[in-house]
Amino acid sequence: MCALYGIHDYSSCFNSKQKNIILTVLSIESETRGIDATGISYVKDNKLQVYKRPVPAHRMRYNLPPKTKVVMGHTRMTTQGNEERNYNNHPFFGRVKDNTFALAHNGILHGEKELRLSMNLPKTNIETDTYIAVQIIEKENSVSFDSLRKMSETVRGSFVFTVLDKRNNLYFVRGDNPLCVYHFSKNGFYLYASTEEILQKSIVRLGIEKLHHHRVPIEMGDILRIDSTGDIDKSTFKPVEYYSRWYGYYPQYEFNCDWNVETADKNTAEYKYWLAMLKQTARLYGYTNNDIDELIAEGWTLDEIENFLYESEDEIIFDRVAR
């Protein structure tokens, strides 16, 4: 669906060149979840910067300014809004009364046009579903736990949001999509990515896997803020049911980061929910429910089907679907 990644170097453990390398590795490992566009946001001279391009991560070149503490990144798998129009790509810039912010999203939102009308939000040329989240925060006129709670309880769909403001506060808003944050407390930095697999592969490639670190707990319904000094504050929001025009009502089920959809009982509500979300994503690529059911009957796992959707130009896999 896309990938989130980044670094919070609150103790200035790394110089700019080292952070460029870290970002390069994180973003390339994140290509497994999206290659249509890549973008980052960071603070320079107390001003928020957004740098994004409609290219895969391995074609991006980073040149962070000195003293950069936090970088928030995104690799995109397009579901709505042509990536060639760069304003459709993540992160998105936002402004409130005394602050500016950037927002990135992994997931799919629904009903944003109707929501924009009902909340009297301004029209925009940005076609991406994510942008409604920016507009709701702007309407609340602050970047805070309260405004992020309002936004996350208003939008409908699957999500993890990351938000960076000009004061180097990094927020994580976790819905039902995956997220993994590592704290290297003895060295004074955080790394994060959409999945632990991406993060593990990245730290091995960087040669820092032996540095002491631990996983920061963040569950569905959590809002986490890491401030400029590396301190963590936490709040919560209430996950809500949303309506899918294809599948009816699906609640955002409560389960922890270690829940494994591949080994779970297929009769559980959690498994049925993830299957429904997978089928919904597949429809964006022109595949039917029966196509997905046939792959499952052949023995494909949900992870394999998800990878197939992200790499659907592979003609070998297309041949399997055709059969």
How many CA atoms within 13 Å lie on the side-chain side of 133? 32
Query: Residue 46 region, left (φ>0) first, then alpha (ψ -120 to 50), else beta?
Result: left
CA distance 83 to 133: 18
The Cβ of residue 171 has, within 10 Å, a number of other Cβ atoms equal to: 24
Domains (ranges, CATH) in the chain?
2-236 (3.60.20.10), 260-322 (no CATH)
Question: What is the structure's pLDDT at 320?
Answer: 36
pLDDT tens-digit readout, 114-158: 899 999 999 999 999 999 999 999 999 999 999 999 999 999 888
In contact, 83 and 75? CB cutoff 8 Å: no
309 pLDDT above the threshold of 60: yes
Alpha-carbon distances, residue 53 vs 19, 39, 84, 148, 226 (angstroms): 19, 6, 8, 27, 27
85 backbone dihedrals φ, ψ, rounded to 5°: -90, 100
Nearest to 193 by CA among 50, 29, 306: 29
Query: Whole-number mean pLDDT of the chain?
Result: 86
CA distance 183 to 147: 26
Q: To which residue do tokens 């919070």 refer?
A: 8
For residue 61, give every residue at least 6 positions away whose Cβ sits within 8 Å of its Cβ, in sequence order, or none. Answer: none
Chain-centre distance for alpha carbon 31: 13
* Minimum mean pLDDT range among 130-144, 206-220, 233-247: 233-247
In contact, 277 and 292? CB cutoff 8 Å: no
Average confidence (pLDDT) over 46-75: 96
Residue that wins the pLDDT comparison between 142 and 292? 142
Q: How confident is the model at residue 299 (pLDDT cuts 50, 70, 90)?
A: confident
In contact, 309 and 283? CB cutoff 8 Å: no
Question: What is the structure's pLDDT at 264?
Answer: 54
Question: What is the structure's pLDDT at 315?
Answer: 38
CA distance 155 to 159: 9
CA distance 58 to 23: 11
- H/E element holding 52? strand 47-53
Q: What is the pTM of this model?
A: 0.78
In contact, 103 and 163? CB cutoff 8 Å: yes
Q: H-type helices in 119-254, by residue range?
A: 131-140, 145-154, 196-206
Question: What is the structure's pLDDT at 250?
Answer: 44
Describe the crossing of helices 302-310 and 289-297 by its angle, rounded to 10 degrees. 130
Quote the tokens at residue 168. 């180097």
Q: H-type helices in 85-171, by residue range?
A: 112-118, 131-140, 145-154
